[in-house]
Amino acid sequence: MFGLGTPELIVIGVIIFLIFGAKRLPDIGKGLGGAIREFRQVKKDLSQDEKGNEKPKLSLEEKIKDKAVNQVPGVRDAVDLKNKAEKVGRILKS
């Protein structure tokens, strides 16, 4: 685990305990656990489509774009409109 042994982890734990105190440690642990859970869920959502099938490998930019298009209202309509306008432009040029 990053080359940290038991003595190092104990020292880190004591420092955290002294800084935050006993009352705040459960809240910090709960927040950290929630953040890790959310990160795993987003990672899982990005790798699967709506039906639970694995998506083909996409770059990080494409994954973020797909996530934004599917979750933000109005973005999907704007992207569809842009794609239609590009098709019309290609038809008019040919």
Residue with tokens 């704007």: 78
Residue 43's Cβ-side half-sphere holds a number of Cα atoms within 13 Å equal to: 6
Q: Tens-of-pLDDT digits for all 94 residues of the chain?
A: 468 888 998 998 899 889 888 888 888 888 888 888 888 888 887 777 656 666 566 677 777 777 777 777 777 778 888 889 999 988 988 7
Contacts of range 52-59, beta carbons closer than 8 Å, 24 or more positions apart:
none
| pTM check: above 0.85 | no
Pairwise CA distance, residues 65 & 56, whole Å: 15
Residue 10's Cβ-side half-sphere holds a number of Cα atoms within 13 Å equal to: 3
Pairwise CA distance, residues 3 & 77, whole Å: 50
**36-56 confidence digits (pLDDT tens):** 888 888 888 777 765 666 656
- Predicted local confidence at residue 50, as pLDDT: 58
- Predicted local confidence at residue 85, as pLDDT: 92
